[in-house]
Amino acid sequence: MKKVSCEIEGGLHVEVSASRLVIAGWAGRDHAEVEHHIRELEAIGVRRPSSVPCFYEVAPALLTTADSIEVIGEHSSGEVEVVLIQTQEDGLLVGIGSDHTDRKVEGYDVAVSKQMCAKPLGKTLWRYADVAAHWDALIARSWRIDASGERIRYQEGTLARLMHPEPLIWRAFGSTSMIPETVLFCGTQPVLGALTPAGAYELELHDPVLGRSLRHRYSVDALAHTE
Residue of 175, 27, 2, 23 lying closest to 106 (CA atoms): 23
Chain mean position to CA 214: 13
Question: According to the model, what pLDDT value does residue 4 have?
Answer: 97
Query: Residues, the chain, total?
Result: 227
pTM of the predicted protein model? 0.94
CA distance 122 to 145: 17
Give the model's pLDDT for residue 47.
79
107-141 as b/e: b if 16+ CB within 10 A: beebeebbbbbbbbbbbbbbbbebbeeebeebbbb
**Can you give the pLDDT at residue 18?**
98
Residues of the chain under the 50 pLDDT cut: none
User: Which CATH topology does 2-223 take?
Assistant: Fumarylacetoacetate hydrolase; domain 2 (3.90.850)
pLDDT at site 227 = 58
Residue 226, pLDDT score: 59
